[in-house]
């Protein structure tokens, strides 16, 4: 079983994945490490100050790493690019842009990078991409603005156990 945890940087993907790792006895897969191993890093982007990963090759690289019968969590702002047929649940973590701006301000991000990420959150970028890629049937969206990582983990476990229905498209920052 593979759980893709996506969202704008600062929404809580990594800390939620650590909670899920314990709750589900899962293994966390790091997309950047897998991309290096499978040589799907395209280039360094000076503008974003990060490596660019060939998103069309992510699925093949992930598929090569997983084994049947195991549970995996993939926390990344790119995890929604994993082929839907490999994913049991795709979770988009969201955060109020004002809260997100404060969270990102505590990191060593430039004002430009903070602004770009806040804009992506305002515009539902990860959610829209996840829907367009085909994750609609197993897509769930969570507002992490006021929730602890433990509470987010519990909600994900409840969705997996069918104690909570899948929901997406209800979080709107622009009114």
> Could you tell me the CATH number of the domain that includes residue 112?
3.40.50.300
Residue at 172 is within a domain = no
Domains in the chain, number: 1
pLDDT value of residue 46: 79
Helix (H) or strand (E) holding 13: helix 13-23
Closest alpha carbon to 19 in 153, 144, 141, 148: 153
Asked whether residue 82 is assigned to any structural domain, the reply reads yes
10-residue stretch averages of pLDDT, the chain, 175 residues long: 97 98 98 93 78 89 95 96 97 97 92 93 96 97 97 98 97 86
Give a yes or no: residue 168 inside a domain: no
Residue 38 has what pLDDT? 95
Domain assignment present for 84 = yes
Q: Is residue 35 in some structural domain? A: yes
Could you give the CA distance from residue 141 to residue 92 in angstroms, rounded to a whole number? 5
Please indicate, yes or no, if residue 122 is contained in any of the structural domains.
Answer: yes
Containing domain of residue 150, as a range? Answer: 2-160
pTM metric for this prediction: 0.95
Contacts for 149-153: CB closer than 8 Å, 24+ residues apart: 149/12, 149/15, 149/16, 149/18, 149/19, 150/19, 152/12, 152/16, 152/19, 152/93, 153/16, 153/19, 153/20, 153/23
* Residue 45: per-residue pLDDT: 78
Asked if residue 175 is part of any domain, the answer here is: no
């Amino acid at each position: 079983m593979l759980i893709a945890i996506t969202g704008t940087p600062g929404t809580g993907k990594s800390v939620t994945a650590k909670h899920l790792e314990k709750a589900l006895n899962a293994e966390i897969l790091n997309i950047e490490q897998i991309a290096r191993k499978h040589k799907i890093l395209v280039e360094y982007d000076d503008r974003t100050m990060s490596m660019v990963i060939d998103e069309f090759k992510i699925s093949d690289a992930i598929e090569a790493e997983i084994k049947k019968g195991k549970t995996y969590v993939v926390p990344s702002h790119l995890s929604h690019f994993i082929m839907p047929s490999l994913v049991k649940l795709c979770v988009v973590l969201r955060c109020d842009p004002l809260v997100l701006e404060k969270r990102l301000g505590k990191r060593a991000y430039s004002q430009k990078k903070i602004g770009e990420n806040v804009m992506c959150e305002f515009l539902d970028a990860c959610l829209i991409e996840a829907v367009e890629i085909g994750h609609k049937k197993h897509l769930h969206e969570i507002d992490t603005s006021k929730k602890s990582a433990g509470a987010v983990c519990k909600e994900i476990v409840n969705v997996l156990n069918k104690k909570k229905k899948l929901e997406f498209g209800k979080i709107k920052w622009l009114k």
